[in-house]
Amino acid sequence: MLGDLSYLFGNIGSKFKEDDNLACLIKKHLTDILTSVGIKELNNKKWFFAEITSWDKRNTYRNPPAHTKYLPYKTACECRELVREIILKFEKMFKL
């Protein structure tokens, strides 16, 4: 599912096209719930949401292979720190 989210976030972020009606609708409603920091981030070429759902991130922190084994402890701790950073950034990006 993260691959689908990465595609969606790319289409309303860095790959946004003015003639994509669905992307325009999603982006309009998204800007209604974003703070000024979030709107600035949305218009950034390397949009935060596309970055956190990128193939690189998904591949680094998924349980290999296909969820039948566990991450090494060190990698799991790195993932935990990434999630914490993302949550803190959410607080700045969304209206509460």
Distant-in-sequence, close-in-space partners of 86: CB < 8 Å, separation ≥ 6: 52
Range of the domain at 57: 2-93
pLDDT at 78 over 70: yes
pTM above 0.75, yes or no: no
Number of domains in the chain: 1
pLDDT tens per residue, range 1-57: 667 777 777 778 777 788 889 888 988 888 889 999 888 888 876 677 777 777 787
User: What does the pLDDT read at residue 1?
Assistant: 64
User: What does the pLDDT read at residue 67?
Assistant: 63
Residue found under tokens 């949550």: 87
User: What does the pLDDT read at residue 28?
Assistant: 87
Q: How many CB atoms lie within 10 A of CB 38?
A: 20
Nearest residue to 78 via CA among 57, 93, 64, 92: 57
What type of residue is 18?
A: E
What type of residue is 82?
A: L
pLDDT tens per residue, range 55-68: 787 778 776 665 66
Q: How many CB atoms lie within 10 A of CB 34?
A: 16
User: What does the pLDDT read at residue 77?
Assistant: 92
